[in-house]
Amino acid sequence: METIEFTATIKGGVIEIPEEYRDRLNPSVRVIVFNEEEDQKADIIGQLLEHPLKVKDFRPLSREDAHARK
């Protein structure tokens, strides 16, 4: 089995296979769809870990502050 990945826009319920891949595919294929917008929302933690926000005068909580009950 060969795996091909590409990004496409759905038009009228149809996903168009890019020209460069058409001759490599059989009439029967398995399709898995990942909604990129949802993936981006779900991966915000990963994005923040890779690119942390810089906040002026930031001071992380101490262990005591984090567990203090007020």
**DSSP output for 33-70:** ---HHHHHHHTHHHHHHHSPPP-TT--PPPHHHHH---
Mean pLDDT of the region 8-14: 90
Residue 58: its pLDDT value, please? Answer: 92
36: tokens are: 């990129």
Residue 40: its pLDDT value, please? Answer: 59
pLDDT band at 42 (very low <50, low <70, confident <90, very high): low
Distance CA(12)–CA(60), nearest Å, equals: 50
Q: What is the pLDDT of residues 18-34, one digit of tens each?
A: 999 999 888 888 988 88
Reported pTM:
0.46
